[in-house]
Amino acid sequence: MRALKKSDSKKELGFFHYWYYNGNMRREAPEMLKDNSQLKLSLSPYQGIYDAIISANHLLRRIKENIDFSFVNPMLRKQYCEKFGRPAKEPEMMFKLLFLKKLYDLSDEALISSAQTDMAYKFFLDLEPEAKMIDPSLLTKFRKTRITEDILEEMLRETIQQALDKGLIRSGTIIVDSTHTNASVRAKSPTQILRDISKQLRKEIYKNTFELSEKFPEKPSLEAGLDEEIAYTRELLRVLEEGIENCGNRKIQELSKKMKELLEDEKIRDIRSKDDRDARFGHKTPTSTFYGYKNHLAMTQERLIAGISVTHGGAPDGQELPGLIEKAQKNGIKLTEVIGDMAYVSDDNLEVCGEDISLIARTNTAVAAAASGKLEEGFCYNKDAGMLQCPAGELAMRVEKRPAKNGNTYLRYVFSKVKCRKCPLKESCRVGNGKSKERSYSITQASEKNLERLRFEESEYFRERMKIRHRIEEKNGELKEAYGLRRADSRGLFAMKLQMYFTGFVANVKRISKLTELVTQ
């Protein structure tokens, strides 16, 4: 194999892996998965140390005895070259390292340092006591180049299949809910994001190619809005385009490229970080918000996570239910019942459940109106805040209830006219474009179908089944407190999915191990 040259293009070397570490692109030769069909024969004279110091009730020993990790190598085989390349680190060992990282909520560096000296770690990893550990950067490479969304789904499915094979899942019930995770970056306004990155570009030009600074256009004032900042940024890139291409400074060129990507993003008005463009604001109460992501979970009655969906923080919970049902069924759950809160009752969700699946969730007046098709596109009921939410993500300030004809209830949601005037969607929004003094959205509650639904919610069966909904709230607390789900490990939607799925995998493995021991006692 010939040596790599800087002049080689990706097209010429298409078989090489490209991945990023600390912001720099790295190129690696392909790796070939070794044939591990023959049993390993350990010749270490220290092998007996494991039996001497690792007790029978040690968590990692119990997990190793109760969980079969042999699915990992076949699952990841497609991510490696079959016929050429240097020998790869065994996927099962790398996968187990990521498992330990999430189990004990460690950084890559702390994990490798602990694994070098902790005999329980090496026992779990199937390594000899004296074995040398890998460099922490290989974990980053493994995550970036080996793990895909399909693999994340497959590894979660494996835990459910092992639980089913052991007879640990006996019900056809899933409990659904969402929990939020704060982004790893601080939120800023789109105006400030553009202002900061253009300032950074000018600073680099002053330091390295001062002659280009003579072309700088006049900066907008500090009171300038987003439109003015966008216009300035476009003009700055236009006058510097040729000079940046010829300057040869990589950092300046990367900053220029990042600025162009921001300007070309259709959702630039929603972006709150130049480093994490997927995170969004969401509501937990009428007065508190968070910036980050939502993790939507479907958990079995036995407290095993059977389906996961990860979205930005502003996504409504109810829209994720069809996908969660499909994932739970695909993972092997013979679904007969879904238990959730008021966010999940809608006409679409009731249709998805049909006659075969009972939807155990309380109807809210606004949700009932949505079920009858009264809400326009973009409007939704935010169950955490207990208020109607407009297409721009703003909550109504208050709701006024009035009696209407035919025994219905007239609901009038009043929004902030100050925010509506500044809203970029005001021209297309019926609330923001109104001529009245107040900005409001009115709906009428109720239909016979909804009334029938409400009668079902008063039944003894419904009340009894709702009593187990608290289990998923307890699971959400466990995921946050024990496994670090309160804050994102990295940036971007896929990184959040990686974190959530491995968190769910670890939680399932621990739960299966515990249930297995309870059954065998």
Sheet bearing 409-415, strands edge to edge? 398-403, 409-415, 439-445
pLDDT of residue 87: 44
Taking the CB of residue 54, how many other CB atoms lie within 10 A of it?
17
From residue 370, alpha-carbon distances to 317, 343, 344, 363, 384 in Å are 14, 11, 11, 11, 17
CA distance 352 to 356: 10
In sequence order, the 6+-apart residues with CB closer than 8 A to the CB of 296 are 176, 177, 178, 308, 309, 310, 311, 317, 320, 324
485-519 core/surface letters (b: 16 or more CB in 10 A; e: else): beebbebbebbbbbbbbbbbbbbbbbbbbbbbeee
Taking the CB of residue 402, how many other CB atoms lie within 10 A of it?
9
Residue 323 in tokens: 């996908």
- Tell me the CA end-to-end span of the chain in Å, nearest whole number: 58
* Locus of tokens 């509501």: 283
* Locus of tokens 């996504």: 315
In sequence order, the 6+-apart residues with CB closer than 8 A to the CB of 432 are 390, 415, 420, 421, 423, 425, 426, 439
pLDDT of residue 4: 43
Residue 189 in tokens: 């306004």
pLDDT of residue 501: 97
pLDDT tens for each residue of the chain, 521 residues long:
344 444 444 333 344 444 444 445 554 545 555 554 433 445 677 778 888 999 999 999 999 999 999 999 999 888 876 654 444 468 899 999 999 999 999 999 999 999 999 999 999 999 999 999 999 999 998 998 889 999 999 999 999 999 999 999 999 999 999 999 999 998 888 899 899 999 999 999 999 889 999 899 999 988 888 899 999 999 999 999 999 988 888 899 999 998 898 888 877 888 888 889 899 999 887 778 899 999 999 999 999 999 999 999 999 999 999 999 999 999 999 999 999 998 898 888 989 999 999 999 988 655 455 445 457 778 888 878 888 888 888 899 988 887 765 456 778 889 888 888 888 887 778 775 655 567 888 777 666 666 787 788 889 999 999 999 999 999 999 999 999 999 999 999 999 999 999 999 999 999 999 999 888 87
pLDDT of residue 161: 97
| CB 160, CB 332: distance < 8 Å | yes
* Locus of tokens 């604001």: 281
Helices then strands, counting H and E runs in the chain, come out as 19, 15
Q: Give this prediction's pTM.
A: 0.77
CA distance 96 to 127: 12
From residue 153, alpha-carbon distances to 285, 340, 440 in Å are 31, 22, 42
pLDDT of residue 447: 60
Nearest to 63 by CA among 392, 520, 507: 507
CA distance 165 to 223: 64
CA distance 55 to 187: 47
DSSP 391-422: TTSPBPSEEEEEE-GGG-EEEEEEEPHHHHHH
Eight-state DSSP code of residue 37: -
| CB 281, CB 313: distance < 8 Å | yes
